Amino acid sequence: MKDTSVLMNEFKEGIYESLLKDIYVDDSVLEYQKERYIKALNQYEEIFGKEEVEIYSAPGRSEVGGNHTDHQYGKVLATSINLDAIAVTARTGDEKITVVSDGYERMEIGLNDLLAREDERETSLALIRGVAARLKQKGYKIGGFRAYITSDVLIGAGMSSSAAYETLIGTILSGLYNEMKLDPVFLAQAGQYAENEYFGKPCGLMDQMASSVGGMIYIDFENPEEPEVRQVNVDFEGFGHSLCIVDTRGSHADLTEDYAMIPSEMKQVAHYFEEDVLRKVDKTDFYLNIPAIREILGDRAVLRAMHLFEENKRVEEEVEALEQGKFEVFKKLVKDSGDSSFKYLQNVYSNHQVNNQSVSIGLAVSDVILKDRGVSRVHGGGFAGTIQAFVPDEIVPLYQKTMDSVFGEEACHILKVRKYGGMKVL
């Protein structure tokens, strides 16, 4: 371990340039990342004093395939991205976790009281307390630490800033007290537990898994307690495309019911077959019973169930195409996935707000620019927010300029696939 001042000087001297390139992939962001780490170390020193520290990182994520399938125990293809939350941290001798996040007040929790608190719901304190509680429940060591945290994972853009935060807290406890031996899948489950039981958000597991495990990963949630997780062996850089996320800047206000109705209607179809989720329903039985289901539940529930069954199949095909180096086949499948979300899942705009169709505008403009060279689709939960595009590197500047002109400066973010999940940097 080295103290904050030594690390700041070493970053300034460029000693960690190759490490930053390995983590963040993109040469164009290396100077920004160097300055970001120096600033974080300086902030830690100003707040807590000069001392020996460690640095941890947890990335945001992008969902590539499997839109709205995880809550039905479905299949997902996701990737970590080169935006992350980083923490400068050190162990303390007391039973207290102290965190200062960039732009926020100091937070403290005592490790002798890890029960969920109603007054902490929907706060970062709830996530810290929840992750620590889960580790302790499962017999892992926990202990006090202080940390300064800063994140460039965009909030509200479908990149899972909360999952990165949960993963970061779990990874710190893994590194400081468990020799970095905690399984990334367990850390993802601890993050989900914190978000469900302490924060109060009934999320699935996909976001945390993509952040914790890292790289391009395939997840099968058929057994949600022990999901099948494997990294997809692919050199994404070799395909000559960038992953672009465009914030269409539509309002998320009054969309809670729209989001909630997706899993609700899918589960209603499952209940028709006396099951709790669609993954447990035989696909052939579903198709044979469409007339009866329409009569009882209506057409949208049927269409959303159809999306689920076909999306699970597409995820498998996307993985196969990537592993065989068939990138054009992969892009077509991404396009098909986006079309299914638009037509069948129906999460591109709210039918309660027909004049708020910013995601639709983003997809339509993308089609005009990309034609058959690239693909775009809704990203994340949908209804408002972001779209995802795979864009040939040679036309990325044109794509970015056009999308920024439509939605405002810095609406289009050019990202890279990161190969690491939650990790100890130094």
Q: Looking at residue 156, what is its pLDDT?
A: 56
Percentage of the chain exceeding pLDDT 70:
98
Q: Looking at residue 149, what is its pLDDT?
A: 96
Average pLDDT over residues 351-361: 88
Query: Would you kindly state where each structural domain of the chain is located, as residue ranges?
Result: 2-60+79-216+419-424
pLDDT at 158 over 60: no
Q: For 31-35, 338-342, 354-358, which range has the lowest pLDDT when averaged over its residues?
A: 354-358
Average pLDDT over residues 316-321: 96
Q: What is the 3-state secondary structure (H, E, C) of the chain?
A: CEEHHHHHHHHHCCCCHHHHHHHHCCHHHHHHHHHHHHHHHHHHHHHHCCCEEEEEEEEEEEEEECCCCHHHCCEEEEEEEEEEEEEEEEECCCCEEEEEECCCCCEEEECCCCCCCHHHCCCHHHHHHHHHHHHHHCCCCCCCEEEEEEECCCCCCCCCHHHHHHHHHHHHHHHHHCCCCCCHHHHHHHHHHHHHHHHCCCCCCHHHHHHHHCCEEEEECCCCCCCEEEECCCCHHHHCEEEEEEECCCCCCCCHHHHHHHHHHHHHHHHHCCCCCHHHCCHHHHHHCHHHHHHHHCHHHHHHHHHHHHHHHHHHHHHHHHHCCCHHHHHHHHHHHHHHHHHHHCCCCCCCCCCCCHHHHHHHHHHHHHCCCCEEEECCCCCCCEEEEEEEHHHHHHHHHHHHHHHCCCCEEEECECCCCCEECC
The mean of the pLDDT values for the chain is 92
What confidence category does residue 238 fall into, taking pLDDT thresholds of 50, 70 and 90?
A: confident
Average pLDDT over residues 346-351: 89
Average pLDDT over residues 341-363: 91
CATH number given to 2-60+79-216+419-424: 3.30.230.10
Q: What is the pLDDT of residues 246-271, one digit of tens each?
A: 999 877 677 778 888 999 999 999 99
Q: What is the pLDDT of residues 258-309, one digit of tens each?
A: 888 999 999 999 999 999 999 999 999 999 999 999 999 999 999 999 999 9
- In whole angstroms, how far apart are CA 57 and each of 37, 91, 142, 165, 168? 11, 16, 19, 9, 6
pLDDT at 157 over 70: no
Average pLDDT over residues 143-154: 92
Q: How many Å apart are CA 185 and CA 176, to the nearest integer?
A: 18
Q: What is the pLDDT of residues 393-413, one digit of tens each?
A: 999 999 999 999 999 998 999
Tell me the torsion sign for CA atoms 35, 40, 45, 51.
Answer: negative
Q: What is the pLDDT of residues 333-345, one digit of tens each?
A: 999 999 999 999 9
Q: Taking the C-alpha atoms of 331, 389, 160 and 304 in order, what is their torsion angle to the nearest 10 degrees?
A: -60
Q: Looking at residue 260, what is its pLDDT?
A: 86
Q: Looking at residue 45, what is its pLDDT?
A: 96
Q: Taking the C-alpha atoms of 185, 190, 192 and 196 in order, what is their torsion angle to the nearest 10 degrees?
A: 160
pLDDT at 356 over 90: no
Contact 246, 387 (CB under 8 A): yes
pLDDT at 108 over 80: yes
Of 347, 351, 352, the closest CA to residue 337 belongs to: 347
Burial (CB count <10 Å: 0-12, 13-18, 19+), residue 426:
middle
pLDDT at 159 over 60: no
Q: Looking at residue 210, what is its pLDDT?
A: 87
Q: Which two tokens stand for residue 207?
A: 């976001």
